[in-house]
Chain A
Amino acid sequence: MSIILSDITYVYMKKTPYEKIAIKNINIEIKQGEFVGIIGHTGSGKSTLLQHFNGLLQPTTGTVSVDGQDLNVKGAAAQTAKRRVGMVFQYPEHQLFEETVYDDIAFGPRNIDIGEEEVAVRVKKAMDFVGLDYNEFAKRTPFQLSGGQMRRVAIAGVIALEPTYLILDEPSAGLDPRGRDEIFGQIIKMHQQTGITVVLVSHNMEDVARMANRLIVMNNGQVSLDGSPTDIFSECQTQLKEAGVDVPPLTLLMDKFNQRGLAVDHTVVAMDTATESVLAALGRR
């Protein structure tokens, strides 16, 4: 069970003078249960790549399959397969339109012919996941919420579809640090509790490094690195620089410790393990 992109190339505005190859020869398999981070600087093809995961864009060449179902085939089977992939776009709060938070989250589920009771259950569950209190928010208009709350409503709208794969494009863009931590906290919680597969796009290395167990680095429309965050940060710093992605500050700090002769583990990506490593190294001395 996985999303497989094989040999994907996508060309924008084909056959015009504006023709541009956005991504080329992409081969990726997203396995169920993974937490994948995709990073790359602006224009590296991240967002284009993302839209292939649920068939919003059809590749110019190559095929995309979700759980073995080719998305390019017309028919109900491909539609169902697409539904298994939930997509949260950049600034998802811009897509809110209903009068109440409840109705907006229910928009997706209502589109897939399940009873209104089931819809209600799903909306409640989705609001719970994104940390919005049902009694407080369900009947309010989404347009008077704060930016972070609006975004959570929008994410809940996708979660309510109960996708197997959740794709998020820069879910923290434009939020303050607290809003960002809340959103990420909820994504991590959901990943752990339901085992949902998460693909997270960001250009903030630190966020991705902390959460993802696999990292894909995009550069110039191609995959330049694919592996675990620890491996990539410790071994591929030159490629990272080439791709225009910063190494997380924590890794840089640990490298500096190493250079100054303090033998810490420079592959750590989380603050608590880093602290432990530094304390251990200090204790050893």
Chain B
Amino acid sequence: MLADIMLGQYFHGNSVIHRLDPRTKIVSTILFISSIFLAENYQAYGVITVFTAMVIGLAGIPTIMILRSLKPLWFIIILTLLIHIFTTPGTVIYMLGPFTVTQEGLRQGLLMTLRLLFLIIISSLLTFTTSPVALTDGIERLLNPFKKIGFPAHELAMMMTIALRFIPTLLEETDRIMKAQMARGADFTSGNILRRARNMIPLLIPLFISAFRRADELATAMEARCYRGGDHRTRMKQLKIVGKDWAAAGILLLLIGLLILVKISVK
């Protein structure tokens, strides 16, 4: 049931993309996501599609996994599409009662939907190809300069590692408790929204209790292994920027250049 949710899950592999330095991947993802906002026409999205497909291909992530990562968000995506289609003023091409579909709305809706889709796909590509440990290592290193002004980079990174690590565990737990309560006649799927929210109590209370219990156990386990924050900690895997990272950065810059070019030339 819930185990199908794929968002934020690492997909083990050994592709070029997997082996890139996490810092490269994080910065590239941020740049790539910002560059999506440069795209304002179909041609630009064509370029982005080709690039994304290339990354997916290189990373060796099965398409079905990508589609599954979209699953929890399809509602928002459809909603965005509909809102844009029905609310943008312009040339009317279709009328349905109080709703009017305009050419501009259709275009705007499609582009916004594409934008959302790529936002999700690209960010899930990052988590698919980067193990949580590597990811937070990267974040910590990227935030390192801010430590000087008292920014808790290590603590933040550690919190993220733990959060990511416990997503699947908590999902599993939710599934288990849900089934147990369903076996006692609990109903999570019918009734109006108020009733449904109330029906969630038998699920949420045990889940919170178990989350707190896990947090407690984890804290004890960490202390038992003498964990004491970021200072003086050494790493088994040192991060190094090498040739392929520069190559990846180059390709990305090329893409951004291309997008700017498309933006200027296509009106």
Contact = CB atoms under 8 A, between A and B. Distances in A.
Interface of A: 12-13, 15-17, 51, 54, 56, 83, 86-87, 89, 92, 94-97, 107-108, 111-112, 143, 157-158, 161
B183 A17 contact: no
Contact of A108 (B176, B185, B201): B185
A56 B182 contact: yes
Given A107-B186, A161-B185, 14 more contacts: A12-B3, A16-B65, A16-B68, A54-B183, A86-B183, A87-B183, A89-B176, A89-B183, A94-B176, A95-B180, A95-B202, A97-B201, A97-B205, A111-B187
Contacts of A95: 177, 180-181, 202, 206
A56 B65 contact: no
A107 B184 contact: yes
Interface of B: 3-4, 11, 62, 64-65, 68, 173, 176-177, 179-187, 201-202, 205-206, 209-210
Contact of A89 (B11, B64, B179, B205): B179
B65 A111 contact: no
A107 B202 contact: yes
B64 A158 contact: no
Nearest to B175: A56
A102 to B, nearest CB: 15
A53 to B, nearest CB: 10
Contacts of B177: 94-95
B3 A13 contact: yes
A15 B67 CA distance: 12
Nearest to B12: A17
A86 B182 CA distance: 11
A161 B185 CA distance: 9
B62 A17 contact: yes
A161 B184 contact: yes
Contacts of A83: 185
17 contacts: A13-B3, A15-B64, A16-B64, A16-B68, A17-B11, A17-B65, A83-B185, A87-B179, A89-B179, A89-B183, A95-B177, A95-B180, A96-B206, A97-B205, A97-B209, A107-B202, A111-B184
Contacts of B182: 56
Nearest to B185: A111
Contacts of B202: 95, 97, 107
Contacts of B184: 107-108, 111, 157-158, 161
Contacts of B180: 87, 89, 92, 94-95
Contacts of A16: 62, 64-65, 68
A136 B236 CA distance: 55
The listed residue with most B CB atoms (<10 A of its CB), out of A86, A111, A157, is A111
A158 B183 CA distance: 8
Contacts of A13: 3-4
Nearest to A47: B176
Contacts of B65: 16-17
A12 B1 CA distance: 10
Nearest to B187: A111
The 9 closest A-B pairs by CB, nearest first: A111-B185, A108-B184, A97-B205, A87-B183, A95-B180, A89-B180, A56-B179, A97-B202, A97-B206
Given A16-B62, A17-B65, A56 B183 contact: yes
B51 to A, nearest CB: 24
A56 B187 CA distance: 13
The listed residue with most B CB atoms (<10 A of its CB), out of A89, A94, A108, A158, is A94
B262 to A, nearest CB: 35
Nearest to B176: A89
A54 B179 CA distance: 10
B23 to A, nearest CB: 27
A70 B65 CA distance: 33
A49 B182 CA distance: 17
Nearest to B11: A17
Nearest to A96: B206
The listed residue with most B CB atoms (<10 A of its CB), out of A95, A107, A157, is A95
A158 B64 CA distance: 39
B247 to A, nearest CB: 27
Contacts of A112: 185
Contacts of B201: 97
Contacts of A97: 201-202, 205-206, 209
B64 A94 contact: no
A249 B17 CA distance: 53
The listed residue with most A CB atoms (<10 A of its CB), out of B173, B182, B185, is B185
Contacts of A51: 179
Nearest to A107: B184
Contacts of A111: 184-187
